Amino acid sequence: MSVIRRVPSILTGLVNNNNNRNICFKSSEPSIPSSTLSSSLTHGIHVFYCPDVVGIVAKLSECIASKGGNILSADVFVPQNKHVFYSRSDFVFDPVKWPRIQMEEDFLKLSQTFNAMRSVVRVPSLDPKYKIAVLASKQDHCLVDLLHGWQDGRFPVDISCVISNHYRASNTHVIRFLERHGIPYHYLDTTKENKRESEILELVQNTDFLVLARYMQILSGNFLRSYGNDVINIHHGLLPSFKGGSPSKQAFDAGVKLIGATSHFVTEELDSGPIIEQMVERVSHRDNLQSFVQKSENLEKQCLSKAIRSYCELRVLPYEEKKTVVF
Which pLDDT value is given to residue 198? Answer: 96
Which pLDDT value is given to residue 260? Answer: 87
* Amino acid identity, position 111: S
According to DSSP, the β-strands at 42-51 and 84-93 are: antiparallel
Which pLDDT value is given to residue 30? Answer: 40
Q: Are 121 and 90 in contact (CB under 8 A)?
A: no
* DSSP-assigned letter for residue 25: E
Which pLDDT value is given to residue 322? Answer: 86
Q: Catalytic pick from 90, 158, 271, 287?
A: 271
Structural domains of the chain sorted by starting position, each given as residue range(s) with its CATH number in brackets: 42-122 (3.30.70.260), 130-326 (3.40.50.170)
Task: Per residue of the chain (327 residues), give pLDDT as tens.
Answer: 333 333 333 223 333 334 555 655 554 344 444 444 445 899 999 999 999 999 999 999 999 999 999 999 999 999 998 999 999 999 999 999 999 999 999 999 999 999 999 999 999 999 999 999 999 999 999 999 999 999 999 999 999 999 999 999 999 999 999 999 999 999 999 998 899 999 999 999 999 999 999 999 999 999 999 999 999 999 887 655 666 667 677 777 888 788 889 999 999 987 889 999 999 999 888 988 899 889 989 999 999 999 999 999 999 998 988 889 999
Which pLDDT value is given to residue 26? Answer: 52
Angle between helices 247-254 and 289-312 (to 10 degrees): 130
Annotation says 271 is catalytic: yes
Closest CA to 89 of 263, 320, 317: 317
